[in-house]
Amino acid sequence: MALFEVSGFKPELRGKITAAGQTHVVDRPNHYTFGTKTQEFAVPLGVDPSGFLKSCSQDGGVCIDLNHGTTTLAFKFRHGVIVAVDSRASAGSYIASKEANKVIEINPYLLGTMSGSAADCQHWERLLAKECRLYKLRNNHRISVAAASKLLSNMMLGYRGMGLSMGSMICGWDKQGPGLYYVDDNGTRLSGHMFSTGCGNSYAYGVVDSGYREDMTVEEAYELGRRGIAHATHRDAYSGGVVNMYHMQEDGWIKVCKEDVSELIHRYRKGMF
Amino acid sequence: MPSQDSMEPTFSLPIGLPLSSSHSVPLPFPMSHGTTTLAFIFQGGVLAAADTRSSCSGLVACPAAQKILPIHSHLVGTTSGTSADCALWKRILARELRLYQLRHGRRLSTGGAAKLLSHMLQPFKGTELCVAATLCGWDGGEMDDNQMTDVENSASLNLEKAKTQCLSTAVGGQQCFGRERSGPSLYYVCSDGTRLKGTLFSVGSGSPYAYSVLDQGVQWGLTVQEAVSIAREAVFRATYRDAYSGNCVDLYHITSKGWTRRNREDLKEEYYREKERQSGDSQRIMVKDFKGKAFRRMGGEFTAHSLALCRKVQSKSLQLGVKGVDCQSTSRY
C-alpha cells in the first residue's frame, strides 16, 4: 500500500496487524464468517488485556468491579414477548442520563436490550444490527432469533476476559414463534421464558415470578412488566427514570409505553404507610 | 450507676490486645448472609417470616434450621449471618432483658432491646462477628397482673393514656414524644453498628426477591390471613431464585397477647402446586390447537390428568395441616 511505502513501514509486520488490513475480506459475497473470525478491534502487540484484568480482580489489589447498573426484563407469554427496561445511565454515583435508551431496534422483528457498559452495548448491538441486515440482503430471508443471538455471543467470545461488560436480551419473532435469548459478556447464551438483567434484576424477578402466567392477557402482561421495573427502581439505586416497554407480536414489535417510575410507584403504593 | 447495669460482655478479653489482632484465624470462605428473613408491621401486629435452610459454603448444613428465635413472650428476633453468633447473642439478649424486667418491673421496649443489642455488639466491630437481626415486638400494653403494685398502677395509667394518645397518631407511623410508645415495633440491628427503626425489613441473600413482592402487597390495613399469605409468597419467591434459601418457611405473628407460631410449611408443596398450574395451562392450549372444533369447548376446563393431580396436591396439603390454601390463594397483584 502506498501509505506503507511512504511511511517506511516494514512489510514483514503486516501479517501481525489483525483487523485493520483485512476489512476488505469481510464484504465478499462468499464470506460466511459473519464478522466473527476477524476481530473488530486490533489488539496492540505486547499488551495482554485479560492478564491485566485478572490482576485487577484479585483480593488485596485494586478491584475493578464491573456492575451492570440497570434493570431490564423480558418474558415470553402466549401473545408474544414483553420487553421492559428502565432509563437511568449512571457513572459511579452520578446519574449521567435519566432518559437513556436501553433497547435497540435491530429490525421490525428483532429487539436487543442493553445492560452493563453503555458504550459496549451500543457498539456491539449496532454491529449485530449491521450483520443482521447483511444476512437479509444476502439470503433474502430474515435472520432467526437464535442465529442473531449466536452472532452476538460469538463476538463476545472473541474478547473474552478483556473487560467487556454487556448483558443483553435478544427478543424477536421468527418462523419458530416468539424467541428470547440472554447473551452475556462471558459468552453465555441462554434461551428461556423469562430473563432479567442488571443489578436490579433480583427485585424484578420477585415481582414477575409472582405474577407470571403463560396465558395472561395482553393488558395483564403490560402491567406485570411495568410493575417489575417500577419495584426494581424503587429499591435499586442504579435504576430509575422511565419504563420503556415494547411488545413483540407476530407482525413486529410495538412500543407500548414510556411511563415515569415515580408516578407508577405512587399509584401502586397508595394506601400503604 | 451500679456495676450490675454495665453493658460489658461476660467473657473478658485479654488486656492490651487490640480487637483486630494480627493472628486472628482467617475465614475459610467469604461470609454472606445466606438466608431470607423478613418482617413487617400491619394493623394486626408484627409478622416475621424466614426460610429454614442453613448453608455452609455450598453445602446445605441443615434443611430445618430455626431462624426466628423467640426472646421473650412479646419479642421475637429473626437471625441472619453466622448461625452460631446469632444464637449466642440472642440468648445473651434474652438474659439481659429478663434481668431488666426483674429489676424494673416492666418489659424493656423493642427500641430499648435493639439499643442494648447494638451496644453489646459494638466492642466486636471490625472483627468477623456477623449478626444481622430484626427485632419484632409488641411494646407496653398488657402486663402480668402479679406485677402490679401501687407505683405501677399509676405508671400503667400513664401508659394507658399514652397508648390512646399514641394510637391516634400511630397510623401515619409518627413518633410519640415524651411517653413510651405502645404497639407493634420493628428494629433492624446489625453487627456493623446499624440500628434502624422501620415498618418493613428483609435481610439476607434472598432479600431483594422478597422486597419486591412485599413492596407490592404490604399495607397497614391487611387482615392477618392476607399478611400471612404475602409473607409466605415473599419467602417462596426468594427461595425460588436464591440458592442459599430454601426448604421450609417459618411464620411468627406477634400481637398484644404475645407471639404465636404457625405450622412450618414445606415450600416444595407450593413449588409443585405452581408447576401444576403452569402445566395445566399449557395442556389446555395444546388441546385447543391440535384437536378439532368439537374440543374447543373444553378449553376452559381442566383435563382429567391435571384435575387428578390437583386433587392429590390438595389432599397432601390438608394432611400437613395447611388449611384454606388452594390454587388461588397465592397473591396475584
Chain B from 291 to 330: CB within 8 A of any A CB? 330
* pLDDT at residue A18, rounded to an integer: 47
Stated as kind and residue range, the H or E segment containing B47 is strand B45-51
b/e string for B82-117 if b means 16 or more Cβ within 10 A?
bbebbeebbebbbebbeebeeeeebbbbbbebbbbb
Q: Dump pLDDT digits (tens) for A86-95.
A: 999 888 888 8
* pLDDT at residue B161, rounded to an integer: 47
**Distance, CA of A200 to CA of A86 (rounded, Å):** 10
Spatial neighbors of B127 by CB under 8 A, at least 6 apart, are: B19, B20, B24
Query: What number is the ipTM of this complex?
Result: 0.75
Spatial neighbors of B116 by CB under 8 A, at least 6 apart, are: B7, B93, B96, B97, B108
Question: Helix or strand or coil: residue B62?
Answer: strand
CB A114 within 8 A of CB A102: yes
* A214 contacts B278? CB cut-off 8 A: yes
What amino acid occupies position B97? L
**Residue A212 pLDDT greater than 60, yes or no:** yes
How close is the nearest chain B Cα to the Cα of A119, in Å? 28
Query: What are residue A253's DSSP bridge partners?
Result: A248
Residues of B within 8 A of A268 (CB-CB) are 216
Residues of A within 8 A of B299 (CB-CB) are none
Spatial neighbors of B20 by CB under 8 A, at least 6 apart, are: B126, B127
Q: Which long-range contacts (CB under 8 A, 24 or more apart) does A38-43 make?
A: A39/A158, A39/A159, A40/A127, A40/A155, A40/A158, A41/A159, A42/A17, A42/A18, A43/A18
* pLDDT at residue B171, rounded to an integer: 46
* pLDDT at residue B46, rounded to an integer: 95
**Distance, CA of B332 to CA of B131 (rounded, Å):** 34
Of the candidates B165, B172, B195, B200, the one whose C-alpha atom is nearest the C-alpha of residue B185 is B200
Chain B from 43 to 102: CB within 8 A of any A CB? none
Q: Which of A18, A23, A36, A70 is catalytic?
A: A70
Which member of B208, B221, B278 has the closest CB to residue A202?
Answer: B208
* Domain residue limits, chain A: 72-271
Instruction: List chain B pLDDT tens, one digit each, 333 residues.
Output: 444 445 555 554 444 444 444 445 565 555 567 889 999 999 999 999 999 998 887 788 888 889 999 999 999 999 998 888 889 999 999 999 999 999 999 899 999 999 999 999 999 988 888 899 999 999 975 444 444 444 444 444 444 444 444 444 444 444 444 456 789 999 999 988 899 999 999 999 999 999 999 999 898 999 999 999 999 999 999 999 988 998 899 999 999 999 999 888 888 888 888 888 777 655 544 333 333 333 333 333 334 444 444 455 555 555 555 444 333 323 332
What amino acid occupies position A109? Y
Rounding to the nearest 10 degrees, give the CA dihedral for residues B304, B309, B315, B321: -140
* B282 contacts A214? CB cut-off 8 A: yes
Annotation says B149 is catalytic: no
Interface of A with B (CB under 8 A): 78, 202-207, 209-211, 213-215, 223-224, 227-228, 231-232, 234-235, 268-269, 271-273
Under CATH, domain A72-271 is a member of which superfamily?
Answer: Aminohydrolase, N-terminal nucleophile (Ntn) domain (3.60.20.10)
Residues of B within 8 A of A209 (CB-CB) are 209, 237, 240-241
* A272 contacts B285? CB cut-off 8 A: no
Give the pTM.
0.71
**Distance, CA of B314 to CA of B306 (rounded, Å):** 12
* pLDDT at residue B170, rounded to an integer: 45
Q: Dump pLDDT digits (tens) for A137-167.
A: 999 999 999 999 999 999 898 888 888 889 9
